[in-house]
Chains A and B, each alone.
Chain A
Amino acid sequence: MKHKDVRRHTTLAVATTATLALTLAACSSGGSTDTSSDGGGGGGGGEATEVTVWASVDQPVLDGLQEGSNNLTEGSNITIKWEKVENINQLIMTKLGAADAPDIALIPQPGVVADVVSRNGAFPLDDVVDKAALESSMVPGTLESGTVDGQLYGLLVSMNVKGLVFYNKPAWDAAGYGTPATIDELNALTEQIKADGNVPWCMGIESDTATGWPATDWFEVLISKYGGADQYNQWVSHDILFDSPLVREAAAEFETLAFTDGNVFGGRNAIAATNFGTAGNPMFDAAGPKCWMLQQGSFITGFFPEETKADLDTNVGLFGFPPATAGGDNPVVGGGDLAIMLNEDQATKDAMAILANGAIGEPAAPGSSFISPHKDFNMELYPNQVTKDVAQVAYDSTAFLFDGSDQMPGEVGAGTFWSDMTSWIAGSQDLDTTLTNIDSSWPN
């Protein structure tokens, strides 16, 4: 018996070793881009302490922010080193407390910021940045989006905006259409375009395995406009159900715009089968727009046809999705990157103060999709009128709200909210079933 045991152990050991070797090989080739990271500042000695910032933003934005922080740290005793990493949301959770964690990380989701805080991974910024000054200089709501349990942990550094309505500018101007000031006016405009013999809306929610997410954007925009920031946040945390007057009001408006005969290019059937990226292309058809308006986020201009992109300002116009009542609550839905502090030393705090300075984005703005969350940002730096208009929509808003579906549990935010909305829009399921399905899928 003993003999046998020994043998078995040896074999197991060999097997385990082989497995380990394979796993290690897989890990080492798994590509960590941070081998050059030296674990960040905190040493104190030397002339300039280096503070490491990790972000998953696009390279041009990152390069711009690096240049911006170089400008701002010149002559001081710190340097800021920006590093691009993939999937920061997952990565940062595994790096918490590890020796090679960065000093600062740019997190694109408030939910993840809250997760990091709940694991005692981040330090509050209330005494690190000038909150009172930021309160007035930043887009309203941006500080709230980084606040956990009453303390500021995440500071918005860059942003993008959703709920924008794009149109074909030359055709739009020739037809003499204006910018609607309320949702009612938008409905009237829709009717008018139809009366002129045209199709008002381009719509597509198909997105491969993620089909349905553009529909959730529609709902987020409508719910934010009808309910305002507070009710929006209650809806995101499921304190307001999907089967509620607020969501039904949003659904009714969506139904009016999208399901009315002749309102959508290709009809209701086409919505779920049309890709979100190409949905706007018929707007720029050489023979004139086949559909006239597209509701999407600021990123969509990158998906427009090459000829359109070649001269964006001439070809494309936009307005922010109008509020429910003119002059009333007018929040804007969007996304952005929240800087969190993972290290408590003075150098990191100094770096955080620099990240809070709107000027850090100045070199980034002209050559990238960067939009500053600071209202006093120099608008002239944005590369074109389209970007200026997008930024203006955000700066004019009464509250900045993070994308709701991103903050919901996966079952809902990347599950039933997508799929049941898609079924409803495709006409294979009624609204009652849709709303109850989404509600019942919410994990307890």
Chain B
Amino acid sequence: MLLKSGTVLVTVAIGIAGAIALFWALNKLAELLPSKWEHRLKPYLLILPAYLAISLYLLYPTIVTVINSFKDRTSDQWVGFTNYADLFTDKAFQSTLFNTVLWVIIVPAVTIIVGLAVAALTDRLPSKSEKFVKTMIFVPMAISMVGAATVWRFVYAYQPAGETQTGLLNAVWTSGGAEPVPWLNTSTFRLNTLLLMVILLWAQVGYAMVLLSAAIKSVPAETLEAARVDGAEERQVFFSVILPQIKGTIIAVGVTVTIGVMKIFDIVYTNTNGQFNTNVLANDFINELTTNFNYGAASAIVVILMIAVIPIMIYQVRNFKEQEAAA
């Protein structure tokens, strides 16, 4: 243990020293140039290491993944679009796609609505209670996703009728005399998928709340007063005065949550591993990669995910630029 910690510390020290030396050397290099060129080139020189690191760790794997998605399960032979064709004609994968779409539609919307509601309502509380309520809602953010998923697994736990119900939900459900329900196995109307979404909502509504609350507080009080003086109701003040002014934050939160949800994995893996019709793209990918060792199919799933995320990111960047321009 001591040896391990020692190794880690030495590695970190070498890494930091290396980084300092690198930037110092790059700086010196720039200073060698004529003054005019020094100023022109320096920024590029200094971001060069970061760019190289991104190329090494992001671009290169991305390119290899795209290439592998057109190869067979061991990445030996070219197979064209076979991996994609197999996936899209597979009923299980269609269900996986459908579930992922459900996640992407429902979770960001509910996160924003609940986050906004909490932010707007607590804004009217006395400072102390506001802090307390917000802290309580924010606390789950501190729990790792797998931890949260495990906690909720206990909430949804099921025991056959006649046994003591150890799961909170079934304990409440059966207290009125109803039969216990195996919640996570019940895919009627995708009930189990919806229950899994509750976990993610519980875990990250706090994030949306904090950002939206900050945005609401930064809305100039004069605009609110002006609206009230003009006879606007509170509802009108919220929807017509506050909302338009925090639109940027709402979009930013929505996009971040959406991208996170597209990659959702831990909650599904921990609770059902995609069984009972709850599979999502990222979980399917992990299983193709680590259970089936089918690198072709795994790569194809990632590429599909990547293509789906790109438009959202473009939208986010555009929105960011617009805000920058407006500011």
Contact = CB atoms under 8 A, between A and B. Distances in A.
Interface of A: 7-8, 11-12, 14-15, 17-19, 21-22, 24-25, 28-29, 208-212, 265-267, 269-270, 272-274, 282, 290, 409-411, 414-415, 418-419, 422-423, 426, 428, 437, 443
B270 interface: yes
Contacts of B68: none
Contacts of A265: 160, 162
23 contacts: A11-B22, A11-B48, A15-B53, A15-B56, A21-B11, A22-B15, A28-B7, A211-B272, A211-B273, A266-B163, A269-B182, A269-B185, A270-B160, A270-B182, A272-B182, A272-B276, A273-B185, A282-B160, A410-B292, A411-B291, A415-B291, A426-B182, A428-B277
A419 B4 CA distance: 40
A298 to B, nearest CB: 25
B270 A426 contact: no
B52 interface: yes
Nearest to B153: A208
A236 to B, nearest CB: 18
Best-surrounded residue of B14, B48, B275 (most CB of chain A within 10 A)? B275
B7 A29 contact: yes
Contact of A22 (B11, B48, B272, B277): B11
B275 A273 contact: no
Interface of B: 4, 7-8, 10-11, 14-15, 18-19, 22, 26, 29, 48-49, 52-53, 56, 73, 92, 158-163, 182, 184-185, 187, 269-270, 272-277, 287, 291-294
B216 to A, nearest CB: 41
A270 B22 CA distance: 62
B18 A267 contact: no
8 nearest CB pairs, A to B: A266-B160, A273-B182, A209-B273, A25-B11, A270-B160, A273-B158, A411-B292, A29-B4
Contacts of A14: 18, 22, 49
Contact of A11 (B49, B159, B163): B49
Contacts of B158: 270, 273-274
Contacts of A19: 56
A24 B11 CA distance: 9
A209 B269 contact: yes
A426 B48 contact: no
Main secondary structure of the interface of B (DSSP, over half): helix
Contacts of B161: 266-267
Contact of B160 (A12, A24, A274, A426): A274
Contacts of B293: 410
B276 A209 contact: no
B160 A267 contact: yes
A15 B52 contact: yes
A339 to B, nearest CB: 26
A133 to B, nearest CB: 40
Contacts of B29: 7
B291 A414 contact: yes
Contacts of A18: 14-15, 18-19
Contacts of A24: 11
Given A266-B159, A267-B160, 19 more contacts: A7-B48, A8-B48, A21-B14, A22-B15, A24-B11, A25-B8, A25-B11, A28-B4, A29-B4, A29-B7, A209-B270, A209-B273, A266-B163, A273-B182, A411-B291, A415-B287, A426-B185, A428-B276, A437-B92
Contacts of A266: 159-163
A443 B73 contact: yes
B14 A211 contact: no
A25 B22 CA distance: 21
B56 A428 contact: no
A412 to B, nearest CB: 9
A422 B274 CA distance: 12
A269 B182 CA distance: 7
Contacts of B52: 8, 11-12, 15
B318 to A, nearest CB: 32
B162 A290 contact: yes
Contacts of A443: 73, 292, 294
A76 B272 CA distance: 55
Contacts of B49: 11, 14-15
B8 A426 contact: no
A15 B18 CA distance: 9
Contacts of B273: 208-211
Nearest to A209: B273
A211 B294 contact: no
Contact of A29 (B8, B48, B73, B272): B8
B99 to A, nearest CB: 14
A12 B273 CA distance: 40
Nearest to B150: A208
A212 B275 contact: yes
Contacts of A409: 292
Contacts of B7: 25, 28-29
Nearest to A279: B160
Best-surrounded residue of A19, A410, A437 (most CB of chain B within 10 A)? A410
A436 B279 CA distance: 20
Contacts of B287: 415
Nearest to A282: B163
A8 B14 CA distance: 21
B32 to A, nearest CB: 10
A101 B310 CA distance: 47
A272 B56 CA distance: 45
B149 to A, nearest CB: 11
Contacts of A212: 275
B69 to A, nearest CB: 17
Nearest to A30: B4
A314 to B, nearest CB: 24
